[in-house]
Copies of this chain bind each other. A is one copy, B any other.
Amino acid sequence: MSNGPTIYVNGKFLLAEDAAISPLDRGFALGDGLFETIRVENGRPFRLGAHLQRLRSGLTTIEMALPHEDGEFKAAIQELLSRNRLTRASVRITVGRGVPEARGLLPGRILSGPTIVIQAMPYSGYPAEKYETGFSAIVATIRRNETSPSAYVKSCNYLDNILVRMAAAAAEADEGIMMNMAGNLACGSVSNIFVVKEGRLRTPPITAGILAGIARATVIEIAMRERIGCLEEDLTTDDLWAADEAFLTNSLMGAMPLTRVDSKSIGNGQPGVLTGQVGRAFEDLVKREAGSVQ
């Protein structure tokens, strides 16, 4: 009897090794799909509603129907967590457009309905020390294409991000930061970026061609609540070099202090005070909403 993980595929819970989708699915053939990655603490997905809302918004952009209620996703995730005996996890929802009647780029009639895959994996964040020593990045040569609606949705077209991440790894950096066509900062391969200047947060606006990160929105909410403030405005690498602090965000990793980009130190080269404040507030919020503290 196998002890491998169980995953959800179109309403069924299957051992990952037995799970199957059609090779004709447009998700596989053309990258015609979207996904979400959600953090689970204490058995509860953090801001699942916001993730599902973003998913539905993205599906509208690419004109894909999703005849599933939020409740079905919630129930499937709970069942997956239970079957995989996980209370701390990263959950991924992938939606492919399904098997088309005809070849070609136009979706036309879809024979199968959308293909929905949900995975719950043990959560593997960076070790705590990493948040104390800081993260490094390179400025990537691949730019973000803000002229495309696909820049604003979490699509399965991740080859650019993969290549950026591979270039970062080759440079022994943790992340690659993309500029957009206009030459402004956009985002990392798996993160949004914030800089701190004179006690206030600044982050590229959505119009810079970025994904509206759930962690990004959470950090802005925290900055408002704690009266730090956050400006959404176009930033350049010069703003990064002149920053007092900088950090990256994503749903799984929270606020990651960015202390070195290319070979330059950001601020004093140490994780910043406001970064730490925001990062702790983020973790507190995740744990509070998960009901594990007060």
Contact A121 B142 (CB under 8 A): no
Contact A19 B30 (CB under 8 A): no
**Contact A162:B23 (CB < 8 A) given known A28-B33, A147-B142, A156-B29:** no
**Contact A30:B103 (CB < 8 A) given known A19-B22, A142-B147:** no
Contact B143 A163 (CB under 8 A): no
- State in angstroms the CA–CA spacing of A252 and B52 once bound together: 39
Contact A161 B92 (CB under 8 A): no
**Contact A121:B150 (CB < 8 A) given known A31-B31, A158-B32:** no
Contact A28 B25 (CB under 8 A): yes
Contact B21 A106 (CB under 8 A): no
- State in angstroms the CA–CA spacing of A279 and B117 once bound together: 45
Contact A105 B63 (CB under 8 A): no
A145 contacts partner chain B, Cβ-Cβ < 8 Å: yes
A141 contacts partner chain B, Cβ-Cβ < 8 Å: yes
Question: Which of B143, B150, B162, B163 is within 8 Å of A159, CB to CB?
Answer: B150
- Smallest CB gap from A141: residue in B: B147
Within 8 A of B (CB), among A12-32: 16, 19-25, 27-32
7 tightest A-B contacts by CB?
A31-B31, A20-B20, A157-B157, A30-B158, A105-B165, A23-B117, A145-B145
A190 contacts partner chain B, Cβ-Cβ < 8 Å: yes
Contact A30 B159 (CB under 8 A): yes
Within 8 A of B (CB), among A23-61: 23-25, 27-33, 35
Write the nearest CB–CB distance from A23 to chain B, whole angstroms.
4
Contact A27 B28 (CB under 8 A): yes
- Smallest CB gap from A142: residue in B: B148
> Per-residue 0/1 for A3-17: is the Cβ within 8 Å of any B Cβ (1 yes, 0 no)?
000010100000010
Complex contacts, A169 vs chain B, CB 8 Å: 106
Within 8 A of B (CB), among A74-124: 90, 92, 94, 96, 103-107, 115, 117, 119, 121
Contact A161 B105 (CB under 8 A): yes
> Per-residue 0/1 for A164-185: is the Cβ within 8 Å of any B Cβ (1 yes, 0 no)?
0110010000000000010000
Apart from A29-B94, A31-B159, what are 9 other A-B pairs with CB-CB below 8 Å? Answer: A7-B24, A19-B23, A20-B20, A20-B22, A28-B94, A31-B155, A105-B165, A107-B162, A181-B181
A291 contacts partner chain B, Cβ-Cβ < 8 Å: no
Contact A35 B24 (CB under 8 A): no
Contact A94 B31 (CB under 8 A): no
Complex contacts, A189 vs chain B, CB 8 Å: 105
Question: Which of B29, B106, B119, B159 is within 8 Å of A32, CB to CB?
Answer: B159
Complex contacts, A105 vs chain B, CB 8 Å: 158, 161-162, 165-166, 189-190
A139 contacts partner chain B, Cβ-Cβ < 8 Å: no
A285 contacts partner chain B, Cβ-Cβ < 8 Å: no
A212 contacts partner chain B, Cβ-Cβ < 8 Å: no
